[in-house]
Amino acid sequence: MSRTPLITGNWKMHKTLAATRTLVAELDTAIDGVAGVDAAVAPPFTALETAVSALQGKSIAVGAQNMNEAEEGAFTGEISPVMLTDVGVSFVILGHSERRAIFGEDDELVGRKVRSALAHDLQPYLCCGETREQREANETIAVVRRQLQAGLDGIDAHRAAGIVVAYEPVWAIGTGLTATPEQAQAVHADIRALLAELFGGSTAAAMRIQYGGSVKPGNAAELMSQPDIDGALVGGASLDADSFAGIVRAVGS
Ligand code: PGA
């Protein structure tokens, strides 16, 4: 089963409208003609419409970084899946470690969001990953399995095939520390084994599992050469067109 690698820029809380227009235009030019790789960006909510309209008819997908699971209601400050599809985005990042650690999102809430995204035809990216303490206590696999089991609860194999799993060791996010390709591959292989238990081997073989955590142009190719690493969720290096395009080019052909 060959899976097209997927490189996604998670802009976090960065970029004004003017900066969004500049970055997506530069990116579109910089990765024009690169084959064998899918590219996507997740700007902040305020810039989604700008990014969607600037990338109309282009091959770079646009998604959100979070959403509330409800369609509407008295939830001050929240954004619903209906609003996201209305703006024209195609995917949503859910359960990012910053959402879990800073905003208190738990595994069950993330699962409700994943089910809601699927019900609204938004492609979920389900994030998982262990902290440094959990890795040192040999809990990596248990933590990742718990996060994924709750995040994928109640989903059938047919719907699961479109989900992207993002493995992001918390200790590697924004720190400059990257998991070695072997460390990352070991967890990715365990994740694919779990996906096979949940959804069967052929669905598991079709699902893309991204690595995230200090991915840069210089380390992307080696990480992506691992058999179960199907792309990257990129934070810091996605804020600059040259470095994000460098990652896309390192992975594509
Ligand atoms: P980083 O962030 O690339 O800056 O480490 C990755 C992420 O949080 O998705």
Q: What is the pLDDT of residue 2?
A: 83
Query: Is residue 93 classed as helix, strand or coil in its secondary structure?
Result: strand
113 pLDDT more than 70: yes
Q: Which H helix or E strand runs over 99?
A: helix 97-103
Q: What is the pLDDT of residue 178?
A: 87
Break the chain into its structural domains and give their ranges: 6-251
Mean pLDDT of the chain: 97
Alpha carbon distances (Å) from 31 to 16, 34, 145, 170, 244: 22, 6, 35, 29, 9
Helices (H), 104-154: 107-119, 132-136, 140-151
Q: How far apart are CA 48 and CA 32, in angstroms?
A: 21
Closest alpha carbon to 216 in 5, 7, 39 = 7
Residue pointed to by tokens 């994740």: 191
Residue 215, ligand 1, Cβ within 6 A: yes
What is the residue with the minimal CA distance to atom 6 of ligand 1?
235
- CA-nearest of 248, 233, 230 to 29 is 248
What percent of the chain clears pLDDT 90, i.e. is strictly above it?
Answer: 96
**What's residue 100's pLDDT?**
97
236 lines ligand 1 (CB under 6 A): yes
Q: How far is the CA of 3 from the centre of ligand 1 (A)?
A: 22
CA-proximal residue: ligand 1, atom 7 (nearest): 235
Predicted pLDDT of residue 176 = 86
Q: Which residue has the tokens 């390709």?
A: 181
Q: What is the pLDDT of residue 134?
A: 96
Which residues are known to be catalytic? 96, 168
Question: In testing the pocket of ligand 1, which one of 6, 7, 10, 177 has its CB within 8 Å of the most ligand atoms?
Answer: 10
**Mean pLDDT of the 173-194 span:** 94
Answer whether 43 contacts ligand 1 (Cβ < 6 A): no
DSSP secondary structure letter of residue 73: S
Q: Which residue has the tokens 């409800």?
A: 70
Atom of ligand 1 at shortest range from CA of 97? 8
Q: What is the CA radius of gyration of the chain?
A: 17
Average pLDDT over residues 3-27: 98
CATH number for domain 6-251, candidates 2.60.34.10, 3.50.50.60, 3.20.20.70, 3.90.650.10 = 3.20.20.70
146, 195 in Cβ contact below 8 A? Answer: no
The answer to whether 119 and 163 are in contact (CB under 8 A) is no
For residue 65 and ligand 1, the question of a CB distance below 6 A is answered with no
* 75 Cα to the center of ligand 1, angstroms: 28
Contact criterion met (CB below 8 Å) for 9 and 234: yes
Residue with tokens 């970029």: 15
Structure tokens at 22: 């500049």
Evaluate whether 84 touches 57 at the Cβ level (below 8 Å): no
Confidence bin at 228 (pLDDT 50/70/90): very high
**pLDDT band at residue 141 under the 50/70/90 scheme:** very high
Query: Hey, what are 208's tokens?
Result: 């893309």
User: Residue 175 CA: which ligand 1 atom is closest?
Assistant: 5
pLDDT in tens, 43-61: 999 999 999 999 999 999 9
Residue 214 in contact with ligand 1 by CB distance below 6 A: yes
126 band by pLDDT with thresholds 50, 70 and 90? very high
Looking at the predicted structure, is the pLDDT value of residue 1 above 70? no
In this predicted structure, the answer to whether residue 133 has a pLDDT above a threshold of 70 is yes
Q: What is the largest CA-CA distance in the chain?
A: 48
Dist. CA 161–CA 142, nearest whole Å: 23
Mean pLDDT for 64-89 is 98
Whether the CB-CB separation of 86 and 48 falls below 8 Å is answered with no
Q: What is the pLDDT of residue 168?
A: 97
